[in-house]
Amino acid sequence: MSGIVPADGRTAVPSRVATVSLHTSPLDQPGTGDAGGLNVYVVEVARRMAERGVAVDVFTRATAPDLPPVVELAPGVSVRHVPAGPYGRMDKHALADHLCPFVFGMLRAEAQGDPGHYDLVHGHYWLSGRAGVMAARRWGVPLVQSMHTMARVKNASLAEGDAPEPELRVRGEDQLVHQADRLIANTEDEARQLREHYGARESRISVIPPGVDLEVFTPGARREALTRIGLPADTELLLFVGRVQRLKAPDVLVRAAAELLERDPSLRSRLVVGVVGGLSGAGMHEPRMLADLARSLGVADVVRMEPPQSRERLADYYRAATATVVPSHSESFGLVAVESQACGTPVVAARVGGLGTAVADGRSGILVEGHDPADYAAVLHRMITEPAWRAHLAEAAPAHAATLGWERTVDSLLAVYGESLAPHADPLPLAAGR
């Protein structure tokens, strides 16, 4: 193992980390398919790790036969495409049947390097963790695991019409929680969920919030941003950013817009509901759901559907918005909320999961109990009709986001990595155990 404890007693630093993102590639555009906040997390952390001298190999499933085996994402960061199962898009849960070839690809990549090529494995999402734990035990290195979302938590707050997560995932997560050397929770709320839903040991959980790129997501003039995205300067833009699926609840925003216009018809000429993102999950099977809903509510004329955007372009959407709305039924953190605040735009979000950390309620945005569109409409109406109040929230938003930069995330992760590299008095078995 090349990552060792220095002679002066400082915390060990790994030389090379194997990051596992099996079901979604860091090269994918966030907001499409299964790509979202997890992808952003993997990319941003890997880049900053490499800048600090820690090489990162990201293992992901090859989705096409012509993909190069290795792609350099950034200096010191490589994406390794591992064949596992049929090419093309696959349901995430079906990937559980193809873990063995994926692990074999990881082992083969390690065998091509010097002994002790990887010092540590970091899995992202339960499928990655299931593959990661097998590789980590084979290499004799620690496994650090980030769950990002958890089946029991999602099943406890399903959107109407959404299918529950399968028992296979529940069992897999239960085993993984007890196999991992360290668990990374995005928030204290997620740490509590790990303990209460999965019986995780508190001593193995580290709370490390994700971050935001404070160089890309910066405040800017709202009117100019509206012009750049092709909207009149007097537009009241209510913005949803993310994957279009029931879990993320973009329908709540569309229903809230209908409530808002019923309350104040004079807003119709300048109200725009912007939905920036692609279909995902069960949303792939109901591609017209949102458009049909808008038509049935009589607000199709104010709903503007946009594909996922580059980070620089997305920052303009945030700057242009009156408010960014995050009405998710379940959210491990809520990177969209932090990005919006970094751009100086307040957030109206559901009081679920990590959004209580991502949004400073009453200071940089407003948290809403439940998913009643009328409650969201009331807050959004106030945002529009009380500009001084909105300006107060907007002024505080960047300062709150600044406390959640990626550099802080990487500092904390490196500390956990170092602790994991220290000799273990309590070696962990491959089989699940409490």
270 is in an annotated binding site: no
319 is in an annotated binding site: yes
Structure tokens at 213: 């790129």
CA distances from 39 to 20, 29, 291, 370, 418 (A): 11, 8, 27, 28, 24
Total count of residues recorded for the chain:
434
> What region does 64 belong to: left with phi over 0, alpha with psi -120 to 50, or beta?
beta
220 is in an annotated binding site: no
CA distances from 415 to 12, 178, 207, 311, 420 (A): 8, 21, 12, 29, 9
Cα–chain-centroid distance for residue 185? 12
29 is in an annotated binding site: yes
193 is in an annotated binding site: no
35 is in an annotated binding site: yes
CA 246/CA 287 separation, integer angstroms: 11
CB 304 within 8 A of CB 226: no
Structure tokens at 275: 């939905």
In this structure, how many other beta carbons lie within 10 angstroms of the beta carbon of residue 162? 19
| Residue corresponding to tokens 């992901």 | 60
CA distances from 186 to 2, 39, 50, 357, 393 (A): 28, 15, 22, 9, 24
| Residue corresponding to tokens 């529950």 | 164
37 is in an annotated binding site: yes
380 is in an annotated binding site: no
39 is in an annotated binding site: yes
152 is in an annotated binding site: no
331 is in an annotated binding site: yes
122 is in an annotated binding site: no
- Name the H helices within 96-248: 99-111, 126-139, 151-155, 167-179, 188-198, 222-228
112 is in an annotated binding site: no
125 is in an annotated binding site: yes
243 is in an annotated binding site: yes
**DSSP readout, 16-65?**
EEEEE-TTS-TTSPTTSTT-SHHHHHHHHHHHHHHHTT-EEEEEEE--ST
248 is in an annotated binding site: yes
38 is in an annotated binding site: yes
361 is in an annotated binding site: no
23 is in an annotated binding site: yes
Cα–chain-centroid distance for residue 67? 25
36 is in an annotated binding site: yes
| Residue corresponding to tokens 């910066």 | 218
CA distances from 353 to 114, 196, 294, 401 (A): 42, 14, 28, 17
The answer to whether the Cα torsion of 407, 409, 412, 417 is positive or negative is negative
Annotated binding site: which residue ranges?
Answer: 23, 29-30, 34-39, 92, 125, 149, 169, 243, 248, 309, 318-319, 321, 331, 339, 345
Q: Which residues are annotated as a binding site for Mg(2+)?
A: 318-319, 321, 345
Annotated binding site for 1D-myo-inositol 3-phosphate: 23, 34-39, 92, 125, 149, 169
